[in-house]
């Protein structure tokens, strides 16, 4: 059961999510402000902080009636936020810069992850031990893959090919030469369960290290700053609690997405926690102060990288793409 299975279960997930979450709609009559968060995939531990804030009532305590909408490969959060169909969505800092350069009025307001868990997965016996070794190989890549263009330039790769992603590990398990883009919090679980030894190369270790972010439209942030502040602060509180105890959120995620294996959920949580993807460089046994935060220098570095790759059609001031004003009271 891998990401392909989750996709095939997408209709069930959407129906179950609608049934469980639409029950919140009547609360708007009590004075709560209705807000929609469009996630980037079907319900999973990578969304755990938002579901924790929902389950524990942090959004409600802040005066918000939040609906968390499941994503899929066919949903583009940037478009939905730009159109005003939803108030918030999830993405990455590189995609935010590209979108703003393309004319979209988007604004990143918080970090769901300090570091991106995307990686390249190879078989344990593969001759590929570093990104420079990818010459002469094909990689299954999920578009848009700005990171791929970066490593081609960064490591001078002259003979590396992209092949379409299948959102499954079936090809990897069958083919000892197969290489694919993955999240270290997900696909390795299925491969290890199949008894296939593997190794992963984190893309963030190449120097290309985007945030995973949640964002709104610049117009919504300007007209409803108090709503944005409440949503951001409740969400960060949810992520803090999720790292301490994932069970409340994971129980709801399991109901919303029956395709989720409890063992996979535990694997994903441990990978998120132990890899400090969410809370950054925290010391052992402690949740770091970086939780939800942005570093202006990292945004500036990402903007420079995209300009050097000629992936933005005009220079972008990164300070127009994100804000830190809502991250603390």
DSSP state of 150: H
CATH superfamily of 3-115+210-320: Periplasmic binding protein-like II (3.40.190.10)
Residue 30: both structure tokens together: 């009590």
Question: Where along the chain do its domains lie?
Answer: 3-115+210-320, 118-206
Find out whether 213 and 235 touch, Cβ atoms under 8 Å. Answer: no
pLDDT in tens, the chain (329 residues): 355 334 444 444 444 444 444 433 334 556 999 999 999 999 999 999 999 999 999 999 999 999 999 998 889 999 999 999 999 999 999 999 999 999 999 999 999 999 999 999 999 999 999 999 999 999 999 887 899 999 999 999 999 999 988 889 999 999 999 999 999 999 999 999 999 999 999 999 999 999 999 999 999 999 999 999 999 999 999 999 999 999 999 999 999 999 999 999 999 999 999 999 999 976 666 677 799 999 999 999 999 999 999 988 888 899 999 999 998 75
Domains 3-115+210-320 and 118-206 share a fold: yes
**Per residue in 251-266, is it b (16+ CB within 10 Å) or e — as a string?**
ebbeebbebbbeebbe
- What are the DSSP calls for 273-286, one per residue? HHTTTTT-SPPTTS
Helix, strand, coil share of the chain (percent; to 5): 45, 15, 35
For the domain spanning 118-206, the CATH number is 3.40.190.10
Q: Report phi then psi at 36, rounded to 5.
A: -115, 135
Question: How many CA atoms within 13 Å lie on the side-chain side of 145?
Answer: 21
Peptide bond into 144 cis (omega under 30): yes
pTM for the whole structure: 0.89
């Amino acid at each position: 059961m891998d990401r392909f299975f989750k996709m095939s279960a997408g209709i069930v997930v959407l129906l179950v999510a609608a049934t469980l979450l639409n029950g919140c709609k009547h609360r708007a009559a009590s004075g709560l402000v209705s807000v929609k968060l469009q996630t980037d995939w079907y319900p999973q531990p990578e969304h755990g902080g938002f579901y924790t804030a929902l389950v524990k009532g942090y959004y409600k305590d802040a005066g918000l009636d939040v609906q968390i909408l499941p994503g899929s490969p066919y949903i583009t959060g940037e478009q939905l936020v730009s159109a005003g169909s939803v108030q918030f969505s999830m993405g990455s800092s590189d995609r935010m810069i590209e979108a703003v350069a393309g004319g979209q009025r988007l604004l990143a307001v918080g970090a769901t992850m300090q570091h991106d868990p995307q990686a390249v997965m190879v078989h344990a016996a593969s001759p590929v031990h570093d990104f420079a070794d990818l010459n002469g190989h094909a990689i299954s890549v999920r578009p848009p893959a700005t990171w791929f263009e970066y490593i081609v330039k960064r490591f001078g790769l002259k003979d590396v090919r992209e092949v379409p992603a299948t959102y499954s590990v079936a090809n990897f398990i069958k083919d000892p030469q197969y290489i694919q883009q993955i999240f270290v919090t997900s696909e390795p679980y299925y491969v290890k369960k199949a008894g296939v030894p593997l190794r992963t190369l984190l893309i963030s270790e190449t120097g290309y290290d985007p945030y995973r972010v949640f964002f709104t439209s610049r117009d919504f942030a300007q007209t409803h700053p108090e709503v944005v502040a409440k949503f951001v602060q409740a969400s960060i509180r949810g992520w803090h609690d999720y790292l301490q105890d994932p069970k409340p959120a994971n129980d709801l995620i399991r109901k919303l997405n029956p395709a989720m294996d409890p063992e996979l959920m535990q694997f994903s949580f441990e990978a998120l926690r132990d890899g400090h993807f969410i809370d950054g460089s925290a010391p052992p046994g402690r949740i770091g102060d970086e939780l939800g935060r942005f570093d202006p220098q990292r945004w500036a570095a990402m903007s420079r990288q995209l300009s050097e790759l000629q992936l933005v059609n005009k220079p972008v001031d990164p300070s127009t793409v994100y804000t830190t004003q809502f991250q603390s009271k």
